[in-house]
Amino acid sequence: MTALLELDGVTKRFGRVVIAENLSFSVGAGDTVGIVGPNGAGKTSLFGLISGDLAPGAGEIRFSGRTVTRLDAASRCRLGIGRTYQVPRPFADMTVFENVLVAAQQGGGLRRRASYAAAAEALERTGLGGEANVAAARLGLLQRKRLEIARAVATRPALLLLDEVAGGLTDPEVTVLVEIVRGINAEGTAVIWIEHVVRALTALVTRLICLSGGQFVGDGDPAGVLANPKVREVYLGSEVTASVVEAALEQEPSGQPGREPDPERSTS
């Protein structure tokens, strides 16, 4: 079967700064992939290359069997690549529903009736249905993170790129967010998730990639990658012991349903 996303020898440099060095990998429909690495490793730049925010200096990017290397971000979004950004920046004076509707129409290219349906569905899938008429400026951090995901989901992507959406959240809030992403993936959307909150990734993803200096230093099952001495040196720190890795993995198996989130928290 044709992979959903394929990168073949993708390279990107800014002068002497290498942000992607001959990267090749593929992601299938419905896959869950986590990406970790130290600050400056090239993680967000990789998302820029996939989404069209950045153009590679060399290599090829294919999506659903089509070469998209030179397509702009808007075109890739309409083909089915949705993404979030580290810092949510909603249209503060618009309501939650209006924010998501703009994403469905302008990002997803959906017509009026389809865009309203997509916006409503995205709010329900992210637990924001009760805040549809609330101004985005009034949202707390968890709700802003949900809105960021909802805007991406409203474009009806086949591939969802999540960039540190768990950052700054409490442990219970991270659990809520993981369940939201799990539900989106269960409906067939492939997910690539950049995250520093390792437990969020290990609760969901079946494959983990570690980037450093624009290169892969680990790629495989989460337990194996986190136990890799090279990964522990460049990302977790050279002094990290096996017990720290075990603690990060001490939760439900990847891809399997966990406990139901606290309903009080999931509607906050």
- What pTM does this model have? 0.88
- The pLDDT tens digits of the residues spanning 207-262 come to 999 999 999 999 999 999 999 999 988 886 644 555 555 555 565 444 444 333 33
- The pLDDT tens digits of the residues spanning 133-188 come to 999 999 999 999 999 999 999 999 999 999 999 999 999 999 999 999 999 999 99
Give, for 34, the enclosing helix (H) or strand (E): strand 32-36
Q: In sequence order, what are the beta bridge partners of 67? A: 62
pLDDT of residue 250: 62
pLDDT > 90 fraction of the chain, expressed in percent and rounded: 79
Band (16; pLDDT cuts 50, 70, 90): confident
- The pLDDT tens digits of the residues spanning 48-73 come to 999 999 999 999 999 999 999 999 99
What's the whole-number average pLDDT of the chain? 89
- From CA 240, how far away is CA 185, in angstroms rounded? 31
- The pLDDT tens digits of the residues spanning 95-137 come to 999 999 999 999 999 999 999 999 999 999 999 999 999 999 9
Q: Which of 154, 196, 193, 151 is nearest to 27 (CA)?
A: 193
Q: Please, what is the angle between helix 112-125 and helix 141-153, to 10°?
A: 140
- From CA 257, how far away is CA 250, in angstroms rounded? 15
**27: Cβ–Cβ under 8 A, 6 or more apart, which residues?**
3, 4, 5, 6, 33, 159, 190, 192
pLDDT of residue 225: 93
pLDDT of residue 244: 53
The average pLDDT across 19-35 equals 96
> What length is written for the chain?
268
- From CA 262, how far away is CA 251, in angstroms rounded? 17
